């Protein structure tokens, strides 16, 4: 699939929209397979907030639970039966829900995949560039380690499209640093408690390592080092509020946050509404490219300082909006209210 553009600020200009039809009272379905993760919770809140401020959504039908591709197939089929006009989905993996997506689009339902791609060609995709997310973070980490040593590689959920893409980016960076080795590779499931216990277990082995790459489970990794009295090593995480705060305040922490906005969920709702309004995009794929904020450079320190937001849950990304797509306020996404709530 073709990349339409890079970056966030110009996303809304990327599509050659045609048609001026507008409709009120859309019914939109949401399908998400990871619950209890701050990033996903922000994503759902962004979906609710954007649906509400659009003034065009009568109701949201939300399937939000911990499940796999088989469970998500069931959820999407239930949304089809519920008669939704569009479905915005964060897919369990790239291929596993294609059959249900095709059933939805054959029924005239618009399907937008956010955060992760799907391979069903009838779906639209608005995704964070996951391979680049991993690559720039891993490259910074390996350079900061002096180009040698061992790293703890803390992945997301096994089989998830985003995890597969991030693995490709991590390994692309690893290939550029032959003297860097993976000491331990684990799947956190994007669950904070699980990730924290995994790093504590590895620290307890006494095997030395020189860096940690995390797939967005980050502030609890720093907590594990501090609470166990273990000397800090360079750590890469996402732009979650808690980790961004730690980058500015934890003494001795050298780290970098890579942006990965959960607000892509709100952007997906905006895109679904535009398509329902007859404004179909010229291409079906948009990738949002990430930035890296490192606390060992002046520019990075300035970006980290500007991003601080004590009003956010520590597990929420500080990138709460995407210019050109989302139109809700900070208060509206934090309220996490959709139409009718």
> What is the share, in percent, of the chain residues with pLDDT greater than 70?
93
Angle, CA 79 vertex, CA 160 and CA 270 arms, to 5°: 75
Does 277 share its domain with 254? no
Q: Structure tokens of 170?
A: 């991590």
pLDDT for res 99 = 97
- Residue 209 — very low, low, confident or very high, per pLDDT cuts 50/70/90? very high
pLDDT for res 20 = 31
- Residue 282 — very low, low, confident or very high, per pLDDT cuts 50/70/90? confident
Q: How confident is the model over 217-243, as pLDDT tens digits?
A: 999 999 999 999 999 999 999 999 999
Query: Residues 185-214: what's their mean pLDDT?
Result: 96
pLDDT for res 47 = 98
Residue 2 lies in a domain: no
Does 134 share its domain with 252? yes
pLDDT for res 128 = 87
Residue 197 lies in a domain: yes
Query: Residues 173-182: what's their mean pLDDT?
Result: 98
Residue 294 lies in a domain: no
pLDDT for res 22 = 40
Measured CA to CA, the distance from residue 92 to residue 117 in angstroms comes to 10
Instruction: Indicate if the pLDDT at residue 118 is higher than 80.
Output: yes
- Count up the domains in the chain and report the number: 2
Q: How confident is the model over 49-101, as pLDDT tens digits?
A: 999 999 999 999 999 999 999 999 999 999 999 999 999 999 998 899 999 99
Name the domain boundary from 212, 240, 258: 258
pLDDT for res 287 = 85
Does 121 share its domain with 134? no
Does 52 share its domain with 148? no
Does 22 share its domain with 51? yes
HEC string of the chain? CCCCCCCCCCHHHCCCCCCCCCCCCEEEEEEECCCCCHHHHHHHHHHHHHHHHHCCEEEEEEEECCCCHHHHHHHHHHHHHCCCCEEEECCCCCCCCHHHHHHHHHCCCEEEEECCCCCCCCCEEEEECHHHHHHHHHHHHHHHCCCCEEEEEEECCCCCHHHHHHHHHHHHHHHCCCCEEEEEEEECCCCHHHHHHHHHHHHHHCCCCCEEEECCCCHHHHHHHHHHCCCCCCEEEECEHHHHHHHHHCCCCCEEEECCCCCHHHHHHHHHHHHHCCCCCCCCEEEECCCEEECCCHHHHHHHHHHCCCCCCCCCECCCCCCCCCCCCHHHHHHCCCCCC
Does 63 share its domain with 82? yes
Does 210 share its domain with 284? no
- Residue 288 — very low, low, confident or very high, per pLDDT cuts 50/70/90? confident
Query: Residues 296-325: what's their mean pLDDT?
Result: 93
Instruction: Indicate if the pLDDT at residue 292 is higher than 80.
Output: yes
Instruction: Indicate if the pLDDT at residue 19 is higher than 70.
Output: no
Name the domain boundary from 215, 240, 258: 258
- Residue 35 — very low, low, confident or very high, per pLDDT cuts 50/70/90? confident
pLDDT for res 286 = 84
pLDDT for res 17 = 34
Does 56 share its domain with 105? yes
Range of the domain at 247: 130-258
Least Cα distance to 31 among 142, 115, 140 occurs for: 115
Tell me the CATH number at 234: 3.40.50.2300
Assess contact for 296 and 144: CB atoms under 8 A: yes
Residue 303 lies in a domain: no
pLDDT for res 3 = 36
Does 154 share its domain with 180? yes
254's CB contacts (< 8 A; 6+ apart) are: 144, 232, 234, 235, 295, 296
Residue 308 lies in a domain: no
Assess contact for 324 and 40: CB atoms under 8 A: no
Angle, CA 281 vertex, CA 279 and CA 285 arms, to 5°: 145
Does 57 share its domain with 36? yes
- Residue 24 — very low, low, confident or very high, per pLDDT cuts 50/70/90? low
């Amino acid at each position: 699939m073709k990349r339409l553009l890079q970056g966030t600020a110009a996303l809304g200009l990327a599509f050659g929209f045609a048609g001026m039809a507008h409709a009120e009272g859309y019914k939109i379905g949401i399908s998400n397979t990871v619950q209890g993760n701050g990033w996903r919770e922000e994503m759902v809140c962004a979906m609710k907030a954007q649906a509400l401020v659009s003034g065009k959504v009568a109701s949201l039908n939300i399937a939000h639970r911990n499940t796999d591709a088989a469970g998500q197939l069931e959820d999407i089929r239930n949304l089809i039966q519920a008669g939704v006009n569009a479905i915005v989905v964060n897919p369990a993996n790239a291929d596993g829900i294609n059959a249900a997506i095709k059933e939805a689009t054959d029924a005239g339902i618009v399907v937008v995949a956010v955060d992760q791609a799907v391979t069903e060609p009838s779906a639209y995709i608005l995704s964070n560039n996951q391979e680049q997310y991993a690559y720039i973070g891993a490259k910074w980490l390996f350079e900061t380690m002096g180009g040698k040593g061992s790293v703890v590689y803390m992945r997301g959920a096994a089989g998830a499209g985003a995890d597969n893409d991030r693995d490709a980016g991590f390994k692309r960076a690893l290939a550029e640093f032959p003297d860097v080795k993976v000491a331990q590779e684990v799947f956190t499931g994007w669950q904070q408690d699980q990730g924290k216990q995994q790093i504590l277990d590895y620290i307890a082995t006494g095997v030395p390592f020189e860096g940690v790459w995390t797939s967005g489970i980050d502030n609890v990794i720093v907590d594990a080092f501090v609470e166990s009295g273990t000397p800090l090593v360079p750590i890469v995480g996402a732009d979650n509020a808690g980790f961004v705060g730690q980058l500015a305040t934890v003494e001795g922490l050298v780290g970098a946050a890579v942006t990965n906005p959960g607000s892509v969920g709100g952007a997906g709702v905006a895109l679904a509404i535009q398509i329902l309004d007859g404004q179909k995009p010229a291409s079906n794929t948009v990738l949002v490219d990430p930035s890296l904020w490192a606390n060992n450079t002046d520019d990075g320190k300035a970006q980290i300082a500007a991003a601080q937001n004590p009003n956010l849950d520590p597990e929420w990304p500080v990138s709460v909006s995407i210019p050109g797509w989302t139109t809700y306020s900070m208060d509206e996404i934090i309220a996490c209210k959709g139409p009718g709530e």
